[in-house]
Structure 1
Amino acid sequence: MKNIIKIAAVTASLFVAAGTVQADGKKESHSEKHAHSHSHSTEAETKIYQGYFEDGQVQERTLADWEGEWQSVFPYLQDGTLDPVFAHKAENGDKSAEEYKAYYRKGYETDVDRIEIKGDHVTFSKSGASFSGTYAGDGYEILTYEKGNRGVRFIFKKTEGDDSAPDYIQFSDHIIAPKKADHYHLYWGDDRAELLKELSNWPTYYPAALTGEQIVKEMTAH
């Protein structure tokens, strides 16, 4: 089911009308503020990355788009590796480097430091322990933010696996049709609808083979 989720600051309640959900908004969403580097070969791809697209452009995707071994960028924020990224943002943005770092600290925070995706099998690792499950596609949701731009959450539901593995995982990677991701933001939990309201914490993953310095280059390339 492809519902459109609108985040509206004018209401503090969640209500459903004519198939559209409206929820209390946040002052600042990740999709509005987040600005990783990403190579766009066309103007259309750039617009999509920024969150401007038509509903008809969105297509179902499979876990193959995120297959591989991935690492969280949160440890690199904690140890200072990403400080050049925040300094770069401060040069062109409306916050200081420290303010950007605080914003991304909340966004990147997670204790799941590694994720491996192989076929329909997803393994989460933290503190040396791991848990996993198999997941099947459960559609996507289009979110509309205060600014007017939008994002897509591609959703997968657990079909079997460890109790510790979340019932739902939701991918957001600024891509709206089948294409291999070069990084992604992952939301997980046991309540599909509640996850869609999460806009301030977006654990972010890059390929496990990259060094911290290579990730900095990816983030500051533009």
Structure 2
Amino acid sequence: KWGLGNSRLTGGLLKIAALLEEGGVCGIPTDTVYALAASCKNPQAIEKIYNIKDRPAEKPICICISSVEQLVEAKPPFSPLLWEFMRNVYPGGISCIVSKGDWLFKLVFTSDSIMIRVPDHTVTCHLCDITGPLAITSANPSGEADSTHHSMLLLLWSTVLRLMKVKISLLHLFFFVCFNRHFLTQACLTFLSTGTITIVREGCVPAVKVRQIFDRLKSTMV
């Protein structure tokens, strides 16, 4: 477990953790973008994210965890190859899109697939270690540019304030902002039940490197 100090940063993190436990939505930094986060323990909070972003319900959301072992507790029906792949690439800027199945359907109500990743970001992983897995998505209105600067969070915040006048369920939104960070685009890949992968979007990890890692691991497990 992560150690908890007495710094102001830790105090802010604990405040966010408490809000997430209460069903709130928070803005957090990650290694790729600023994101909106909700606890996977609170499906209604995840629904708030969709309302805030005006995100279509059929679009999958990402599950952020502090380590692969944190996901083991949910007992998803993953193949040994998928487990080994995740242990080799995490933490890092790769998202694995997998079949959601019954193990997660009651928590995240979106389509049949779900993105999973362990961010290479100490603050984000520390928060997930306190709260458990978080549902996250970039903190920008659906269809607009990714939120790579804190000013984009503030713009969304002003929109949320207007929405809160008529939608009380958006209360308890709190932003934890780290300034002057450099962000990278995450790579997204689909992990198929046939034991193959499809690169959906190339990001900070080159597609050729992702395939090299996957092919190497697959060859050792045949």
Instruction: Specify the TM-score bucket, using the shorter chain as the normaliser.
Output: under 0.3
What TM-score do you get using the length of structure 1 for normalisation?
0.24
More strand per residue: 1
More helix per residue: 2
What TM-score do you get using the length of structure 2 for normalisation?
0.24
